């Protein structure tokens, strides 16, 4: 589902989704880019690591952290090093 309130008061006011397929979205939100990005999450492409702190998703019982497979590909732009587990 996509938010149909986009562009209205309280929801990115003045913004619209661009529905074309020609990458000519200008200042509008390119719906093709958004859907491709979200499909990627649906296929499991995501990180469980906080980009600011480096903290990983953890459970309380048993106390275990869950790095994702994709965390191996994170890159710290300040040190130019990967965040290998």
For the chain, give the percent of residues with pLDDT over 90. Answer: 22
- pLDDT over threshold 70, residue 84: no
Q: Grade residue 5 by pLDDT with cuts at 50, 70 and 90.
A: confident
Output the pTM of the full model: 0.60
Q: Which residues of 15-53 are buried (b: 16+ CB within 10 A; e: fewer)?
A: eebbeeeeeebeeeebbeeeeeeeeeeeeeeebebeeee
**What angle is formed at CA 6 by the lines to CA 3 and CA 38, rounded to 5 degrees?**
45
- Nearest CA among 9, 55, 27 for reference residue 17: 27
Which of the two residues, 14 and 59, has the higher pLDDT score?
Answer: 14
Tens digit of each residue's pLDDT (9 = 90 or more) over 31-57: 999 999 989 888 878 777 777 787 777
Which of the two residues, 61 and 24, has the higher pLDDT score?
Answer: 24
């Amino acid at each position: 589902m996509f938010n149909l309130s986009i562009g209205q008061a309280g929801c990115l006011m003045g913004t619209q989704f661009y529905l074309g397929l020609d990458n000519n979205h200008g200042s509008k939100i390119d719906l093709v880019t958004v859907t491709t990005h979200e499909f990627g999450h649906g296929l499991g492409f995501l990180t469980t690591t906080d980009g600011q702190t480096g903290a990983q998703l953890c459970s309380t019982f048993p106390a275990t952290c869950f790095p994702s497979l994709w965390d191996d590909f994170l890159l710290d732009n300040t040190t130019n090093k990967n965040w290998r587990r």
